[in-house]
Structures are given as C-alpha cells and as structure tokens.
Amino acid sequence: MNAVFVGGGSFRTLPIVRAAMSGDNAFQGGGIWLVDFNLERAETVGRLIMKTPEYAKSNCEIKWTKNLDEALPGADLVSVSFPVGSAKMCMLSQQASQKYGFHGSDQLSLSGAFRSLTGGVIILDIAKRMEKLCPRAWLVDHANPVAVYSGLVNNHTKIKSLGLCGSCYHPYWDLAKLLLDQEYSNDFNIASAGVNHMTFVIRGDYKGRDILKMLDEKYGNNPWKPKLAGVPPAFRKTLLFSYQLSRQMRNRFGIIPCSNEFDGLCQLFPDEFPASWHLYKPETAAELRANEKKGRENREKLDIEFRAHLDRKLDAAFWARSCHENPHFAISILDPTAVVMKALGTGKPQKLGASFPNRGAIKGIKDRTIVEYSFTFDKNGVHPDPDLEVPDCFHGLISSLASHQTLLGDAIATRDPKLFSDALYAYPHHQSTKNATALWKELLKVHAAEIPAEFQKAKDYFK
C-alpha cells in the first residue's frame, strides 16, 4: 500500500505507522510520503520511523516533501491531520460561545462550525487534487470537525472519504477499564450509531456476554468507579466524571454513549458542565499574545526533544513503552487511521466506526446526511452493521446535529453564505434565540481573518 500523510510532521504519524506495520504489515513492499510545510519536521518523523522495530522487515520506502502534487500519484490512501485555526482564534471562539451560554469546541458546537470554514477550504483543495492525481484513493481525515469534512468530500467530489476520530474506539478503552480493570481490550464487539462525539452503543458483547448486563452486575446502584490503573492522575477526574454521566444514561434510558467526548455529552447534560467543567476565563490581548508565545515555545521544545532521538540508540525497552509513558513513539493501538490502513494494505476486512454518508445504514436518516456508525471496511468500501437505529428519544437531536454538519459541508463546497446561515440555524440548541444570533455575529468577527470573505454575508440572513 502507498499512503500519503498530509501534516506528516505531526507527532501522531509515527505511532500510527507503527500500528499499521505491526502484525500483518499494511506497508509491506509499499511506500509512505510525508507531506509538510515544515520539511525538517517531516524528515525527522521519517527517519525515526526507519528506526522502529516494525520498519526493519517492511521493505517500505519513506519520502518527505513540501509538494503535495509530488506525493499523490499512485496513492491508495491520503491521511489528513492538522490543527484548524490559530490558537488565538480558537480561544476567542470558545470564550464567545461560553459568553452566550453555549459549549465551545472544535467539533460538535457552533464554534466548531465556524472552524470548519477554515479547514474545509484546505480539505476541499486536497480532494480536488486527488481527483486528478489519485482518483481511486481514500481520503481519511482526522482534522476536526471530521463529520463536516466527510460530507464536504463525499457529497461534492468524486473522492471517498472517512471522517476518523478516536472516539469511535472509546468503548474498547472505557469498557475495558469499567469491566475488566485493564487499559484496553479489542475483544468487545460493538455496534454503534449517532454522530461523531455523540454516538450510542446500540448493542455490544464481550466474548458473548452482553456488556450492559455486565455493567449492571458489577456496579448495581453504585457509582461507576473502576481502578483506572495506569491512568495519569490529571485524567482520572475527567474519566470518572464522564463515567457518571454514562451511568445516568444507563439508568434513565437503558443505553450508554460510545465516547466520553464532552462536547457530545454536554448535548445531553448541559446543566452538568458549568459546575463541573473548567470555563475559559476571558483573557486580555496581552495575555493572548503571551499564551501564543508560550505555545510556540513549548512546541519548539517538544520538537527539539523529539528530534534528539535521531542520535540516540533506542532499544527494545524504549519501543515497548505504553502510550502514557511514550506518547510520541508508542504504537497507537486501535487508531482508526491504522485500522483503515490494515484493511487496504493487507486485504483483510476490519471493524471500524467513522463519519460517512448514511446511505441506509441508520434507519430514518437521509442517505446523504453524515452520521457516524459501525461497519466492516475492506477494499470494496463500507459495509454497515445490520439493524442500526438511534433510540427514538434521541433521534430528533441526532438528526438535527447531523443535518447541521451536512449543511456546513454544502456551504463550504459552494461558498454559499445563505447555506451557512441555514446550517447555523439547524444547530438544535437555543435555536433562533437572541443569544444564538448574537453568538453567530460575534463568531463571524472572531474568525474573520481565517475564513473565506464570502461568509461574512451570512449575517444578512441572521434575522
């Protein structure tokens, strides 16, 4: 298999490649292009991949370039991963959201909607280049909001695209902690349906045992507080908070969410978050500049530390460390990008969850609407799990959020400010309220320097 990593200098790349090369090697006899404007960083990643134990037997060629068009011909897969928007804009966007009573994030939120205009232009350009240079390749996107970009590419180009997010694999980590007191397990069989960051476990089992019954048997009426061995202390509070929300869902609705992403959970439990989750304190212009500078300095420090490994002898013990101990080098177990690569590179079908046009997968959702669901993936594409259906009490919310994100993709593809205003209206929380309209206007100002100018005309439709 031949793969192109756009943003190949990312710290995510090496762990993904290790995962794709482990076991049945997806890159046996293939090639990898690392594309990045920071060519030195891409070269560092490439040379470190060559030092991994998995690469030694891969017979795989690794190259790096700044020129995407040089890398695309012959590609079977193009992986896209990059941060959307400047740090300053992202901070101001989230602060504006909280000012008007909304949760801000880079995905399932109104601030995420505005960020999609920035990244969407880049994603569409990549897809258009792929139409000319590698029209049969899959585009897999890990930049948020992944669902918007999946709709943008699948509904408006000839390229097939999966919106990938680690949240689709959260059950394999969370259920392992909750039920088995271990870090993860891939022995769970999960069928899921919803939207990215708010997908529901429709059914699931562990070695033939129903997981919901297992949860009831283990915890009864007690809080869901597993041991969380190996989890860093700073992350434990977050996990335990999310597990209690999952427990509330189980007790009230008889179902649990697939992931513990807070911008998904806050759609269901909005009153839980102001008291339990850190609110962004408004910052002065000087504080924003200072934080931007600190962020650049921290990244430069991490780059130096990462690059220093080129001159070190990295033994088997180093490569065997866990993702908590060695996050930039450890195998990224169950990373969805690696799973897609396994399917395409080895020819063996793989179980996956991703954002993709519905096309009959979830009952009651339009075919072109972008949703997230579980399926089997192989060289012939997506094969949805059978009998997927969002519970009736959540169907309206899921349908609205999915329509909101699908419309955003349509607006980006057409540069249509009216469609963008329609997409904002489709967001189901505080719909058509004064606070919503005020937030839309403020977010237009916050994002003005980083979004196409045409979208400023959207305010003509904010009535």
pLDDT in tens, 184-242: 888 999 999 999 999 999 999 999 999 999 999 999 999 999 988 778 887 888 889 99
pLDDT at 280: 54
pLDDT at 83: 81
**pLDDT above 70 for 152:** yes
Find the mean pLDDT for residues 135-161. Answer: 97
**Residue 116's closest CA among 404, 430, 385, 426?**
404
**pLDDT above 80 for 278:** no
pLDDT at 169: 80
Domain ranges of the chain: 1-455
Tens-place pLDDT, residues 336-367: 999 999 999 999 999 999 999 999 999 999 99
Q: Can you tell me the distance from the alpha carbon of 442 to that of 460, in angstroms, rounded to the nearest whole number?
A: 14
Here the tokens at position 42 are 């891409």
Q: Which residues pair with 61 in a beta bridge?
A: 31
Query: Which residues in 86-124 are b (16+ Cβ under 10 Å) and which e?
Result: eebbbbbbbbbbbbbebbbbbbbbbbbbbbbbbbbeebb
Least confident of 37-41, 48-52, 294-298, 328-332: 294-298
Helix (H/G/I), strand (E/B), else coil: 190: strand
Tens-place pLDDT, residues 26-61: 999 999 999 999 999 999 999 999 999 999 989 999
294 falls in which pLDDT band (50, 70, 90)? confident
pLDDT at 82: 83
Mean pLDDT of the chain: 92
Burial (CB count <10 Å: 0-12, 13-18, 19+), residue 65: middle
Give me the helices (H) in 68-145, please. Answer: 68-71, 87-99, 110-133
Identify whether 73 is preceded by a cis peptide bond (ω within 30 of 0): no
Tens-place pLDDT, residues 373-423: 999 999 999 999 999 999 999 999 999 999 999 999 999 999 999 999 999
Residue 435: HSE in the Cβ half-sphere, 13 Å Cα cutoff:
12
How is residue 388 annotated by DSSP? B
**Four-CA torsion 354, 152, 428, 237, nearest 10 degrees:** 40
- Fold designation for 1-455: LDH C-terminal domain-like (3.90.1820)
Helix (H/G/I), strand (E/B), else coil: 232: coil
Asked whether the beta carbons of 128 and 121 are under 8 A apart, the reply is no
Amino acid at 435: N
Higher pLDDT among residues 149 and 296, named by residue: 149
pLDDT at 276: 45
**Residue 53's closest CA among 30, 79, 19, 96?**
19
Phi, psi values for residue 256, rounded to 5°: -125, 155
Burial (CB count <10 Å: 0-12, 13-18, 19+), residue 337: buried
Distance of CA 77 to the CA centre of its chain: 17
Distance of CA 216 to the CA centre of its chain: 30
pLDDT at 186: 87
Helix (H/G/I), strand (E/B), else coil: 167: helix
**pLDDT above 90 for 15:** yes
**Pair type for strands 370-378 and 188-195:** antiparallel
Q: Can you tell me the distance from the alpha carbon of 126 to that of 120, in angstroms, rounded to the nearest whole number?
A: 10
